Amino acid sequence: MNTLHLLPCMTSTIKATALFLLALIVQGCGEDSQKSTSENKTQMSHKMATGTLPTLSPIIPLEITSTVNPPTLESLQHDFDVFSWQSFIALNWPANADGSPNTNLTIGDQQGAPTVWQLWKESRDIFLPSGKKPPAWNQKDKLPTACQGLALDSLPSHAIYLTQVGKTPNVLDESEEPFQTGPLIDQNGQYTRFEILTNETMFNYIVDNQLYNKKGQKAFAKDTDFPSSNTQSKTVGSIMLKAAWVVMGEKYDARQFHTTQALVYNNPDEQPGVKPACHLETVGLVGFHIAHKTQDEPQWIWSTFEHIANAPTKGQPHSRSFYNYFNAACQDCAINQPPPRPWNPATPHTPPTQVERVIPITNEVKALNAAYHSALESAVAGSVWKNYELISTQWPTNANSPIDPTGAPAPSFLANTTLETYIQGEVPQTSSSCIGCHNNATTTAGLFSDFTYLLQRAH
């Protein structure tokens, strides 16, 4: 009826062309010298074919590298999954004091050292209760009163790496999953803790547009449009992260986790009845979301990683004797059920959540995980990062669809067992889909907030 009908077909063409360019550029940022695209392509497929180890690089990829022409759903899924792993490696690279990757080290060196992303901005330091302008990128807001007595000098000796980069421990002030779905209880009966962070690009956009308070959001009066990564200018666009941490001790062996010292804070704003309290704890990473806005994926690319021992997969045999969130000995534990209210992270002991993964990890992702685990092991023997696995990557298959703002995401559903424990599954609208859900995120003024619920935290 009009010329627009070509759009769906054009999208894939655009994508293919864009990727062609990207392959050049992204590779150019890496440590290897520049290679031509065709060389790169042969090498990529060669690598996968012969089992040559993937490269570990501190450089965050700006786009995916297409390996098959014309691309298929499966080949692109693979390319996005590689993008996810590359991002994970770069973000978990040991950091210098200024937050840049320490290129004298490789990922897995100095276990327990802060990684690049841990020096990013925590949401509590962006959206201040006063609504004031947040402190500069490399500065923190003052700690919650309850945490103030527990300053750095009381840090135990094994927290040495934090002091090395001159950093105060992060404040973990969240103990519930989104939309009041509930807390996640570990095998010690304690609440899992969460934090959300943004990179500097995203932070700057919030500050520059005064989106850190309600007044600023109202005055902004238009849809939010965070900067995306740009392969031409080689700039990193907006990236946001969500991390889930389990408090170490008793059943949890700190050597199995990427750990850090954190101020574990019971936040009275979370639920009525919660009293402020703060403890300095060693916490271990169990879940990790990366959302990255790229030029060709305005719906963002959503990568999710978990600790390998989180939970067994529904209907599959148990492969481990210990799970972080599953107890094989408990026969009548209800699966994926939050504890009853009242919810309060100060509760001395809550019956552990019995978690199962509902959507199995695909064989393709399993193979990719194995390849990256080998690379991590060969870089640093016994690397703790071998204990982390990609679950999947969600990306828009039709990013510019004129009728579907979610861009027809693939896979249709994606959940992290520590971050979307209770909404795993495959029911449209209600089961976890990163893009599907974040598509409805708005500012406090009710306007589209570009796939992040963060801006709703403004006061």
- Using CB under 8 A as the criterion, which residues of the chain lie in contact with another protein when the complex forms? 1-2, 4-5, 7-9, 12, 71-73, 76, 179-182, 271-273, 336-338, 340-343, 397-398, 402-406, 408-412, 422-423, 425, 427-431, 436, 439-442, 444-446, 448, 453, 456
Task: Name which of 156 and 428 has its Cβ closer to another protein.
Answer: 428
Minimum CB distance to another protein, residue 348 (Å): 14
Task: Name which of 67 and 201 has its Cβ closer to another protein.
Answer: 67
State whether residue 304 is helix, strand or coil. strand
Minimum CB distance to another protein, residue 94 (Å): 37
Which strand (E) or helix (H) includes residue 390? strand 388-396
Give the C-alpha separation, 445 to 459, whole Å.
Answer: 11
Task: Name which of 55 and 400 has its Cβ closer to another protein.
Answer: 400
Task: Name which of 151 and 330 has its Cβ closer to another protein.
Answer: 330
The two structure tokens encoding residue 263: 């101020």
Contacts of the segment 21-27: beta carbons below 8 A, 24+ positions apart: 21/231, 22/62, 22/63, 22/64, 22/65, 22/66, 22/231, 23/65, 23/66, 25/62, 25/63, 25/231, 25/232, 25/234, 26/61, 26/62, 26/63, 26/65, 26/231, 27/65
Burial level of 293, CB count in 10 A (0-12/13-18/19+)? buried
Minimum CB distance to another protein, residue 14 (Å): 13
Minimum CB distance to another protein, residue 447 (Å): 9
Helix axes 37-50, 7-29, angle to 10 degrees: 80
Minimum CB distance to another protein, residue 339 (Å): 10
The answer for residues whose C-beta is within 8 angstroms of residue 49's C-beta and 6 or more apart is: none
Task: Name which of 29 and 441 has its Cβ closer to another protein.
Answer: 441
Minimum CB distance to another protein, residue 229 (Å): 21
Q: How far apart are the first and last CA of the chain?
A: 48
- Beta strand 301-307 with 277-292: parallel, antiparallel or unpaired? antiparallel
Task: Assess contact for 238 and 288: CB atoms under 8 A.
Answer: no
Task: Assess contact for 155 and 247: CB atoms under 8 A.
Answer: no
Task: Name which of 287 and 436 has its Cβ closer to another protein.
Answer: 436
Task: Name which of 168 and 362 has its Cβ closer to another protein.
Answer: 362
Task: Name which of 30 and 178 has its Cβ closer to another protein.
Answer: 178
Give the C-alpha separation, 154 to 157, whole Å.
Answer: 9
Minimum CB distance to another protein, residue 211 (Å): 14
Task: Name which of 189 and 249 has its Cβ closer to another protein.
Answer: 189
Minimum CB distance to another protein, residue 135 (Å): 26
Minimum CB distance to another protein, residue 58 (Å): 31
Q: What are the strands, taking DSSP E only, across 248-300?
A: 259-266, 277-292
CB atoms within 10 A of CB 352: 22
